[in-house]
C-alpha cells in the first residue's frame, strides 16, 4: 500500500525540487553541517585548483535528503566548471551516455544520482571513461561490427547513492574519493531552518526553528518541507509569524511527534510491541501485518528508528527498545530474549 510521507528524505512532489534548489547553498562556506566532510573536500578542491587539474572522481553516499546533490553542485561552482546531471535509471543504453560524455569539456563534472541503479551495460561502458578518458563504441553488427575508440576530455565523475552496498566492486574501486553523509544533529538543522526562513521570507523565532529541527529526522530536506507546512499553518491560523506554539500545533496536525515519528513509524513500533511482544520478528512478517512493502519498511522507516535506537536488527528479526516503548506509552514485557542481540 503506497502512501505519501512528509518525513521521507525522498522527493514527494514534482515541484519540490524547484523549492529545494532555491534553498541550496552555493559554496562550502555557506554549507551548514558535515564539518569534517567539508574540511576534507575543501582541501581536495584547493589542491586540484592548484594543480590545474579536474577533481578526482568522487562518490557520495548516505540516506536521501542529506545534501549529496547539493554538494555535487558546490564542487562544480568551487571548481568553476559546468555540471551535467542525470540519474542511473535514466541511462538505459550506451548511446545515452555516449552523447553526454563526448559533449563534456575539460574539467566538466558528470553527476549521476542513484548510481547503484546503473545497468551492467552502462557500468562496463563507463569504466574506460573513468580510467583512461576514452570510450569504445561498437558500430554495425556481426561480421561488419567494428570498434571505434573515442577519446574524451578529462572530466570529473561524481556519483551519489543511498545504497552503497549495492555498487559493484569494479565501479566502487574506480572512485578516488569516498565521502559518507550522515544524519544532521538538531543544532545544525536549526541553523538550516533559520537560513531557509530568511530565504523564504518567513518570520520565525529560534525556539520555533528548534522545534522544526527536532522533528526533522536529521534530514535537511525534511526540515525545509516541515518549515513550509508550518508557514502555511501560521498564515491561516495565526498572524503569519511562526512561534513555538504555532510550530508545535502545525506539526501535531501533520501527525509528526516530538522526535519526528509519523503514523507509519508509530504503527510499526506498536505492531512489534503489541503483536510480537517487542520482538524479535522478521521483516517479512512485519510487512504482511502492516500491509506494507518490505522495501518501504527497510528503506524509508527503519533507518531513522535504528539511528535513534528505537529498534535493533538481530539475526532473529527486529526488536523494539525500552526507550521506544516508553515513547509510545506502552509497556514492554520482558520475554527473556527481548533486547538481546543474537
Q: What is the mean pLDDT of the chain?
A: 83
Is pLDDT at 43 greater than 50 in this prediction? yes
Topology of domain 34-180, CATH: Rossmann fold (3.40.50)
pLDDT of residue 336: 46
Q: Given CA atoms 25, 108, 106, 168 in this order, what sign does their dihedral have?
A: positive
Tens digits of per-residue pLDDT, 98-136? 888 888 888 899 999 888 888 888 888 888 888 888 887
Q: Where are the beta strands (DSSP E) in the chain?
A: 58-61, 83-87, 109-113, 134-139, 146-151, 156-161, 177-180, 311-314, 317-320
Domain 186-253 has CATH 3.90.1300.10: no
Q: Is the peptide bond before 280 cis (omega within 30 degrees of 0)?
A: yes
Q: Which residues are catalytic?
A: 68-69, 113, 162, 221
How many residues are recorded in the chain? 342
Report, as an integer, the average pLDDT of 15-33.
75
Nearest-angstrom CA–CA distance, 317 and 266: 18
The reported pLDDT for the residue numbered 337 is 46
d(CA 301, CA 63): 11
The yes/no answer on whether domain 263-328 falls in CATH 1.10.1750.10 is no
CA dihedral 160, 163, 166, 167 (to 10 degrees): 20
pLDDT band at residue 13 under the 50/70/90 scheme: low
Q: What is the pLDDT of residues 195-252, one digit of tens each?
A: 998 888 888 889 989 999 999 988 999 999 999 888 888 888 877 788 888 888 888 8
Domain ranges for the chain: 34-180, 186-253, 263-328
First to last CA, the chain: 31
Q: Residues 156, 157, 158, 160: what is their CA dihedral angle, to the nearest 10 degrees?
A: 180
What is this structure's pTM? 0.81
Q: Would you state the cell numbers that stand for residue 108, as one nine-digit string?
A: 566538466
Which residues, 6 or more positions from 246, have their beta carbon under 8 angstroms from its beta carbon?
Answer: 208, 230, 233, 234, 237, 238
- pLDDT, position 46: 92
Task: Let me know if the fold of 34-180 is the same as that of 263-328.
Answer: no
Amino acid at each position: 500500500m503506497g502512501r505519501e510521507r512528509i518525513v521521507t528524505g525522498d522527493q514527494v512532489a514534482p515541484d519540490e525540487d524547484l523549492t529545494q534548489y532555491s534553498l541550496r547553498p552555493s559554496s562550502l562556506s555557506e554549507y551548514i553541517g558535515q564539518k569534517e566532510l567539508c574540511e576534507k573536500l575543501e582541501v581536495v578542491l584547493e589542491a586540484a585548483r592548484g594543480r590545474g587539474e579536474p577533481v578526482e572522481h568522487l562518490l557520495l553516499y548516505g540516506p536521501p535528503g542529506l545534501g549529496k546533490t547539493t554538494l555535487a553542485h558546490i564542487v562544480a561552482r568551487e571548481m568553476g566548471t559546468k555540471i551535467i546531471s542525470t540519474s542511473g535509471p535514466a541511462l538505459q543504453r550506451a548511446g545515452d551516455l555516449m552523447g553526454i560524455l563526448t559533449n563534456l569539456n575539460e574539467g566538466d563534472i558528470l553527476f549521476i544520482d542513484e548510481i547503484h541503479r546503473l545497468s551492467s551495460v552502462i557500468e562496463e561502458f563507463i569504466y574506460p571513461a573513468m580510467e583512461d578518458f576514452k570510450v569504445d563504441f561498437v558500430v554495425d553488427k556481426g561480421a561488419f561490427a567494428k570498434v571505434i575508440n573515442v577519446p574524451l576530455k578529462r572530466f570529473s565523475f561524481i556519483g551519489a547513492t543511498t545504497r552503497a552496498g549495492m555498487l559493484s566492486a569494479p565501479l566502487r574501486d574506480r572512485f578516488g574519493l569516498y565521502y559518507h553523509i550522515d544524519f544532521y544533529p538538531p543544532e545544525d538543522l536549526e541553523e538550516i531552518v533559520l537560513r531557509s526562513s530568511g530565504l523564504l521570507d518567513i518570520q520565525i523565532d529560534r525556539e520555533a526553528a528548534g522545534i522544526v529541527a527536532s522533528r526533522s529526522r536529521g534530514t535537511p530536506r525534511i526540515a525545509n518541507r516541515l518549515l513550509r507546512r508550518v508557514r502555511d499553518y501560521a498564515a491561516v491560523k495565526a498572524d503569519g509569524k511562526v512561534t513555538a506554539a504555532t510550530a508545535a500545533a502545525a506539526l501535531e496536525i501533520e501527525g509528526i511527534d516530538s522526535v519526528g515519528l509519523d503514523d507509519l513509524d508509530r504503527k510499526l513500533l506498536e505492531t512489534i510491541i503489541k503483536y510480537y511482544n517487542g520482538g524479535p520478528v522478521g521483516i517479512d512478517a512485519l510487512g504482511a501485518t502492516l500491509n506494507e512493502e518490505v522495501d518501504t519498511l527497510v528503506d524509508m522507516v527503519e533507518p531513522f528508528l535504528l539511528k535513534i535506537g528505537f529498534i535493533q536488527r538481530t539475526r532473529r528479526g527486529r526488536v523494539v527498545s525500552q526507550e521506544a516503548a516508553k515513547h509510545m506509552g506502552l509497556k514492554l514485557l520482558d520475554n527473556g530474549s527481548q533486547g538481546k542481540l543474537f
